[in-house]
């Protein structure tokens, strides 16, 4: 029965492979998006942009608020790590 099942599912193999790759890409994107180390570096970049006058205080605060929300969420996620990369 296993061989027949594999033969019947063979036409779907490229789709299954594509789905698998898409799932891995999504996992990596989420891992990076919620990486505490990357979030902290981005907060430092926002601070530098504000300090040099490249963005307004208001824009910096909004950006920092969003980053802090991501940082908090990163700690709630399964397998959360404190340090990041």
For 16-25, what is each residue's pLDDT tens digit?
A: 889 899 999 9
> Contact, 60 vs 46, CB < 8 A?
yes
Q: Return d(Cα 49, Cα 56) in angstroms, integer.
A: 9
Q: How does 23-39 read in b/e, with b if 16+ C-beta sit within 10 Å?
A: eeeeeeeeeeebbbebb
Say what the pLDDT of residue 9 is.
Answer: 79
| More confident of the two residues 15 and 22 | 22
């Amino acid at each position: 029965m296993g061989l027949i099942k594999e033969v019947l599912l063979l036409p779907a193999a490229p789709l299954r492979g594509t789905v698998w790759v898409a799932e891995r890409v999504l996992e990596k994107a989420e891992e990076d998006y919620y990486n505490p180390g990357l979030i902290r570096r981005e907060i430092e970049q926002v601070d530098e942009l504000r300090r040099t006058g490249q963005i307004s205080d208001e824009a910096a605060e909004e950006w920092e608020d969003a980053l802090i929300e991501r940082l908090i969420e990163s700690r709630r996620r399964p397998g959360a790590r404190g340090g990041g990369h």
